[in-house]
Amino acid sequence: MGRDRESMSEAELHALFDRLFPRGFSGADVLETIAPEGWDRSPLLPCFHPSIDRVFEERLLMHRNLDNLRRLGGRRHGSVTDVPSPEPTLEDVRKEYKPSVVQETAEVTELVGLCLWDLFSDNHEVIAADGRLADIGSFRGAGAFINEHLSRSDGDWREGDYLRFYMGTIGIGQRADLTPVYTMIFSRLKAVGGDWVYHFPELGVVEPQSGDDDAAPSAQGYSVSESALAELNAQHGRAEVRRFRAELDEMNTRGREEAMDREPPSTVRAYRQVYGRDPRGWPPA
Residue 251 lies in a domain: yes
pLDDT band at 62 (very low <50, low <70, confident <90, very high): confident
- Whether 114 and 225 map to the same domain: the answer is no
Is the pTM higher than 0.95? The answer reads no
For residue 91, is pLDDT > 50? yes
- Whether 191 and 55 map to the same domain: the answer is yes
For residue 61, is pLDDT > 80? yes
Domain that holds residue 252: 211-257
- Whether 178 and 239 map to the same domain: the answer is no
Residue 282 lies in a domain: no
Q: How far apart are CA 72 and CA 49, in angstroms?
A: 34
Query: pLDDT tens for residues 101-115?
Result: 999 999 999 999 999
Residue 223 lies in a domain: yes
DSSP 204-245: -------GGGGSPPPSTT--HHHHHHHHHHHHHHHHHHHHHH
Residue 3 lies in a domain: no
What are residue 22's DSSP bridge partners? none
Query: pLDDT tens for residues 143-160?
Result: 999 999 998 876 667 666
- Whether 195 and 57 map to the same domain: the answer is yes
- Whether 40 and 159 map to the same domain: the answer is yes
For residue 222, is pLDDT > 50? no
- Whether 106 and 174 map to the same domain: the answer is yes
Query: pLDDT tens for residues 236-283?
Result: 667 666 665 666 566 556 655 565 667 999 999 999 999 999 999 998
| Residue (of 39, 42, 48) closest to 104 by Cα position | 39
SS3 of residue 195 by DSSP? strand
Residue 51 lies in a domain: yes
- Whether 251 and 123 map to the same domain: the answer is no
Domain count, the chain: 2
Task: Please say whether the beta carbons of 125 and 2 come within 8 A.
Answer: yes
Q: What is the per-residue pLDDT for 224?
A: 47
- Whether 190 and 217 map to the same domain: the answer is no
- Whether 95 and 233 map to the same domain: the answer is no
What are residue 280's DSSP bridge partners? 197
| Residue (of 98, 118, 115) closest to 44 by Cα position | 115
- Whether 123 and 195 map to the same domain: the answer is yes
Residue 49 lies in a domain: yes
| Residue (of 50, 62, 52) closest to 90 by Cα position | 52
User: What is the rounded average pLDDT of the residues 169-184?
Assistant: 96
- Whether 130 and 182 map to the same domain: the answer is yes
Q: What is the per-residue pLDDT for 284?
A: 86
Instruction: Give the H/E segment covering residue 125.
Output: strand 125-127
Residue 284 lies in a domain: no
Instruction: Tally Cβ neighbours within 10 Å of residue 16.
Output: 21
Q: What is the per-residue pLDDT for 81?
A: 60
Q: How far apart are CA 271 and CA 273, in angstroms?
A: 5
- Whether 154 and 218 map to the same domain: the answer is no
Residue 1 lies in a domain: no
Find the length of the chain: 285
Task: Please say whether the beta carbons of 200 and 265 come within 8 A.
Answer: no
User: What is the rounded average pLDDT of the residues 171-183?
Assistant: 96
